[in-house]
Every structure is written in C-alpha cells, then in structure tokens.
Amino acid sequence: MSRVQAARQGVGRVIDAAMKRGPLSKTWADVLALSRSRALCRAAELRNQGRYEEGARLVEFVLSEEPRNPRVQWMRSDIRVAPDVDRAEALWAEARRDEAIEVLRDLAQRLPDEPEVHLRLAPMLVVEGDYWGAATHARRAVELAPDDPNVLFRAAGKARWGDAVASRSYLEQAKAILAQKADGTFFPFDDDIPHLEGVLAFDEGRPHVGLAYLERAAALQSDELSIAGDLAQGYLHHGRVDDAIDLIREKLGHHPGDERLLRIYNDIETEAGTGTSASQ
C-alpha cells in the first residue's frame, strides 16, 4: 500500500465516522475540504513532534487531491527537509554556527530543488555576514517556486542585504499575486509586509516613506523587537532623538536584556557625551 493510499484510508475513516453520527448537512466537497484541512493540521503537529514520515503521508494525500495548492506544496518541501533543518537549528541554538550551516549546505546539495532548504540557509548566512550567499539562496528558492507568495516574501526578506533590487522585485511579485487572488486567502505574513516595505524604502533612499511604514509595522506588532530597533534607527536618521530614546526605554522596560536596543541606546548616550549606560 502506498503512503498516499494509507493516508486516504485514514481520512476516509474520519468521514465514515462522521456519517455514522447522523446525516451530513455539508456537501461532499465541503466534507472532503474539511478533511484535507484537518489532515494538514495534523501533519503540522506530527512534523513538530518529529514524526516526519507520518506527517509526510498526510501531506502527500492532500497533495494528490490538490496538486497545485501552494500551501500544500510548501508543506511537502518543509517536511522533506525537516529532520536536517531541526538538527541545524538545534546546533545554531547551541552557538555551533559553522556546524549548523554545514548541515544545511549538505542538505542543499542533496535536495537542491526544495525551496525550503534555501530559505532556511539564507538567514544563517545573513547573520554570518555572507550577504551575497544569502541572496543567492533566496534567488534559488524563487526560481523553484515563482508563483508562491510565501516563498517570494520570505526570499525578499533574506535577499535585501546582498541584493536590494531583487528583494524589491520579490516583494512586488508577492503583492501582485495576492492582489490577483483577492479571495480572502490567508497570507501568514500580512503584518510583516510594512516592516519589509520600511527597511527597503530606507535602502532605496526614501527615508520618509520608510519611516511611515516602520511606524505602521510597530503599531501592528508592538512586541516585535526587531521592528522597534529599526524604528529607533529610523527616528535617529530623521534627527528625532527623543522619540528614539522614548521608544527604546519603553521596550527595554519589558525586555531589559535586548542587545540591539541596548547598543543603540548606549550609542545615543555616548554621542551625547553623557556617558550614561542604559544598563545602569
């Protein structure tokens, strides 16, 4: 029995059980769609539990029913690379960065046509200062999934340090695809778009536009410290030092150990000649 057949039988048992409880008010199409949605939710749970093969069976079942669904295509890519990605991220968390990157480089050699491995490797390369390498892997992910707005948006975020022009292109392509859908399709990065728009606008020499986007991003995600740091630096670019200090003090009140905010604050104090540290 194939993995798809096994998964289909499992979902079929769910439908059979529902029928035994009484007449179904939904059409069969609705029932099947609900079953596929539940299968994907269960697949995500299994993936997070490290039960990769079981999750993969459910994803393959749904993909056999919806072969052009970009969400399901992404889940198949994600679950295929999950064992190595999880191992790499565990190494990264232990500050064994070279080993983590090597795991993902090896994975990219073995599975070069999986967008997810390139999107996972790119941010590690950014942290290590290999901006062109990150942009290269972001570009490869887009080549593999050019119609997936999730891939395009994530690639845009990873490419901007090494190739701001490509980053803008990916973002605009993602927005165009989402605008064409216009059917309420869930996009998990809706609230992240203003942040990326803001930092890209600064990169492109449009600081007033960038600041407006960053203020909007901060309003949407008030607990996101990376946005707070970018907004503080945006205020400083515009000479709004007091606004930057107020923002940083507010965030440090809840997150006193954030290294980036502390660094920005201390740089402000040092430049002002006060010598007062935010940590004091």
Q: Which residue's entry shows tokens 């029932």?
A: 31
pLDDT of residue 8: 47
Using the Cα atoms of residue 261, residue 262, residue 264 and residue 268 in order, give the sign of their dihedral.
positive
What pLDDT does residue 61 have? 85
Question: At how many degrees (to 10) do helices 115-127 and 97-110 cross?
Answer: 150
Which residue shows structure tokens 């945006």?
Answer: 234
Q: What is the pLDDT of residue 188?
A: 74
pLDDT, residue 186, reads 58
CA atoms of 59 and 71, how far apart (whole Å): 10
Amino acid (one-letter) located at 158: K
d(CA 202, CA 225): 18
The angle formed by the CA atoms of residues 89, 93 and 99, to the nearest 5 degrees, is 65
Q: Mind listing the pLDDT tens digit for each residue in 222-271?
A: 999 999 999 999 999 999 999 999 999 999 999 999 999 999 999 999 88
Task: Say what the pLDDT of residue 183 is.
Answer: 57
Residues of the chain falling short of pLDDT 50: 4-5, 7-8, 11, 14-29, 31, 275-277, 279-280
- Asked if 149 and 171 touch (Cβ cutoff 8 Å), the reply is no
